[in-house]
Structure 1
Amino acid sequence: MEPIPFTRVEITAEARAACDRVLASGWITTGRETLAFQREWADHVGADHCVMVSSCTAAIELCLRALELPPGSKVLTTTTTFCGVVNAILAAGHRPVFADLAHPGDSANVADTYMVSERTVREAADRAGGVDAMVVLHFAGHPADVEALARAARLPLSRVLEDAAHGIGTSVGDRMVGGISQATCFSFYPTKNLPMPEGGAVTTGDAAFAAKLTALRLHGMSADAWNRYLPGGSWRYTVAAPGMKANMTDVQAAIGREQMKHLPRWQARRDELRDRYDKRLAGLGGLGLPQPSERGRTAWHLYVVRVKPEFGMARDDLIAFLNERGVATSVHFIPSHTMPAYAGFAPPGGLPNAEAVFEQVVSLPLYPLLTDTQVDRVCAVVGEARAAGGAA
């Protein structure tokens, strides 16, 4: 049988044509397409301003720089996150403070979405003697209660950033992710809900913050090439603060603008696939299925299942069993505090909730090009694994 990849990217015919058009235009770096994409994305998520950048990791680092915190400031984030977030904190000159995942005794719905809780955020902040900023992750497309977590960390929303790499299409209550905190960082990586050949974005309601980001994303220069070379533009520029090389190109932006038109269809397909998985895996004991959040709309970027002891087979054995039968999987994420590079920031005694969850979770394939037949096959192989493990 043909293997089932963990992800497969759809770049539409319209996006490919837009790419060709920009390549033929003679202007391929940041310009009119990027400016248009910024306006359209801000409108889509209900934000006042948007700055397109090269990645979500760059977006987080740029936002931390733009906050102008003192060097060595303490930035709280979940340990169950992509390493790029931690690297961004360190690259901005600050110290990560890791929060554990929700305790089993916290709200069941929070615990089931594998995110931090108000209690674990408060514990992390207290352990650090207070924190200066926080990055809140909308894990797997589940909405995090940003305002409640800010209160738990004793921070104003002006010191809170949202990592919405998984959060395209997510809503907190009736508010789409993108306009709640000081800034929201999005990813357009090929595996994400809006797939592109890389890219990221920051949305904010703060015009001055957006202007600062616009300069910082291109070396801190007061004017980019588009503005310098426009008719009537000047070659002169200033650098008020050192920045990064993190701008988006017009080639990427043109692709993203066309891909955006298909986002409602892709989101609807993710919902269908999640329902199909639920129905076909519901009868398998020992397998914890992902639960929709009670705090808003889950965008279903990932379908994460928990392999409990009653399943009869350990998580790593299940991954190997699936792989041998042509089904690719992934794990989100290895707890950051266990990484050698970040060992100096690990709390004494570790973070037991995140460590326990990590040993049991696995992400199954979930993307719009996945067929119903493929979902059925994945579920059938999971059922075979349970039987092979000796579970009744």
Structure 2
Amino acid sequence: MTTKLAARTVPYARCHIADEARAAAAEVLSSGWVTTGPQTPLFEAEFAAWLGAPEAVAVSSCTAAIELALRALRLPPGSPVLTPTLTFCGAVHAIVHSGLQPVLLDADEETLTVTPATVAAAAERVRPKALVVQHMAGYPVPGGALAEAARLAPERIVEDAAHGLGAAIGDRRVGSASEAACFSFYATKNLPIGEGGAITTTDHDRAELLREMRLHGMSRDAWRRYGPGAGWRYDVRVEGLKANFTDLQAAIGRAQLHHLSGWQRRREELAARYDRALSTVPGITAPPRPAHARHAWHLYPIRITPGYRLGRDALAEALRSRGVGTSVHFIPVHHFPYFRALLGAAACRSLPVADRVFAQSLSLPLHPGLADADVDYVCDQIAALARVNVR
């Protein structure tokens, strides 16, 4: 028996490293210095300039960025921190590793993130000391309105902007006016480096604190100790992590930044093409578009409602057999045994919207390397599967 091959293969994600980035990486590798050094502050300045932010601190990951931003708040141990349950588990681990207590919030039916009403209701119960805000899939959320709902000062808001690079509210890019916005440069992100992250802030003193905290709390990194004319002494004034950014990452990131605006335009074109093609398929709901704001289009998560012939898992499997990769964002945090044991059953009970959204969500391929024909093929398969029984 022979297996029928898919007519086309459309992977869920593809990491593109530009030729200039490959050359920049090779130059760093031949320089004799590959860890945090002269390239890192240059990347920080250029990344901050692209966003329009006063300060950027490059770190090892977005997860580390969230933890460092929370630690920099100097909150009492065990302080409650509000966070969406429909998020990546690492974002909640960052709260736990900071010695703080996560308080899970239900999702909004439309935007998949949280609303001021949800935040305000939780704030009445627990009096939070901080709030982690997520720009889910690239949909920008107003941190100011959520801070007000939580009765928190703006500096107590930590933005999980792993999906938010390129999003804007009005004429301000996400992260440009934030006290602490945390970005990811993972291989699938809008600025792919492979690994890495950054924190942007309007506070110079906070930026300097974060630079010390990202490398064991040391006052001077190796480049500033071993470079020409430097001395070996350093001090440790604050607690820290091993969360520094390397010059190899910085060199790749600097070159990739030159392409970011074009990649963002391509993501918008692809999202619009999906919108048009799927608008006539019954039971498929496209992701919402924000009013007076710009979506980053990191993800394109559709909702499979009862009007569609197949459920989410059956559709994902049928697409896989036809060469189309998909993913799900995210498994709600309260579904994981670790967090259920940590937070208790009561804290994980009344989150019905996140449960429903999770069961219906499917993220389709979306990256700048997609061809128009790739999107058309994906949409054609979804439309065809709506008309036939699949066993």
Counterparts of 1:160 and 1:301, CA distance in 2: 22
Tell me if structure 2 keeps the 8 A contact 1:71–1:94: yes
* 1:268-316 Cα shifts (integer Å, max 9, x gaps): 1111111111111111011111121114100111001000001121111
State the match for 1:156 in structure 2: 153
Pairs within 5 Å for 1:1-392: 1-102=7-108, 111-127=109-125, 129-343=126-340, 344-345=342-343, 347=347, 349-389=349-389
CA distance in 2, matches of 1:337, 1:152: 23
SS in 1 for 2:200: strand
Distance 1:237 1:16, change over 3 A: same
Note if contact 2:104-2:348 (Cα within 8 Å) is conserved in structure 1. no
How far did 1:174 drift? 1.8
Count of matched residue pairs: 381
Matches of 1:377 and 1:175, distance apart in 2? 35
Asked if structure 1 preserves the Cα contact closer than 8 Å seen for 2:178 and 2:200, the reply is: no
Partner-residue secondary structure (3-state), 1:4: coil
Q: Which amino acid aligns with 1:289?
A: A
* 1:130/1:5 CA distance change after superposition, 3 Å: same
1:310 match: secondary structure: coil
For residues 332 and 122 of structure 2, what CA distance do their matches in structure 1 show?
15
Matching residue's letter, 2:103: V
**Which amino acid letter does the alignment assign opposite residue 366 of structure 1?**
L
Q: CA-to-partner distance for each residue in 1:198-252, whole Å, 9 max, x for gaps?
A: 1100110111111111011000101001111233322111111221111010001
- Supply the AA of the counterpart residue of 1:300: W
Contact 1:145 1:295 (8 Å CA) reproduced = no
Specify the code of the residue in structure 2 equivalent to 1:318. L
- d(CA) in 2 for partners of 1:154, 1:295: 25
> Counterpart of 1:365 in structure 2: which amino acid?
P
CA contact (8 A) 1:121 1:153 kept: yes
CA RMSD in angstroms, aligned pairs only: 1.2
Measure the CA separation in 1 of the matches of 2:111 and 2:379.
21
User: 1:185 Cα deviation (Å)?
Assistant: 0.4
| Kept in 2: contact 1:143–1:295 (CA 8 A) | no
Q: Could you tell me how far 1:3 is from its partner in structure 2? A: 2.2
Shift of 1:144: 0.4
Cα distance between partner residues in 2 of 1:243 and 1:190? 26
- Report the identity percentage: 52
Please, which runs of 5 or more residues in structure 2 have no aligned partner? 1-6
Alpha carbons 1:99, 1:116 under 8 Å: kept: yes
SS in 2 for 1:311: coil
Instruction: Give me the TM-score of the superposition, normalised by structure 2.
Output: 0.95
Contact 2:8–2:322 under 8 Å retained in 1: no
Distance 1:49 1:328 in 2: 37
Q: Which amino acid aligns with 2:27?
A: R
Q: Secondary structure at the match of 1:248?
A: coil
Residues in 1 aligned to 2:368 and 2:246: alpha-carbon distance in whole angstroms: 26
- Secondary structure of the structure 1 residue equivalent to 2:386: helix
Measured in 2, the distance between the counterparts of 1:302 and 1:46 equals 23
Determine if contact 1:53/1:59 at 8 Å carries over to the other structure: yes
C-alpha distance in structure 1 between counterparts of 2:266 and 2:274, whole Å: 12
In 2, Cα distance between equivalents of 1:384 and 1:130: 50
Letter of the structure 1 residue corresponding to residue 40 of structure 2: T
Q: What is the Cα deviation at residue 340 of structure 1?
A: 0.9
Q: Distance in 2 between matches of 1:183 and 1:32?
A: 24
Deviation, 1:349, is 2.8
C-alpha distance after superposition, 1:85-129 (max 9, x if no partner): 011000111110111112xxxxxxxx42211111111122223x2
Instruction: Give the superposition deviation at 1:59.
Output: 0.4
User: 1:108: which partner in 2?
Assistant: none
- Give the residue type in structure 2 aligned to 1:16: R
CA–CA distance in structure 2, aligned partners of residues 156 and 24 of structure 1: 47
| 2-structure distance, mates of 1:39, 1:348 | 41
Instruction: Sort the Cα spacing of 1:348 and 1:226 in 2 relative to 1 into closer, same or farther, 3 A.
Output: closer
SS in 1 for 2:387: helix
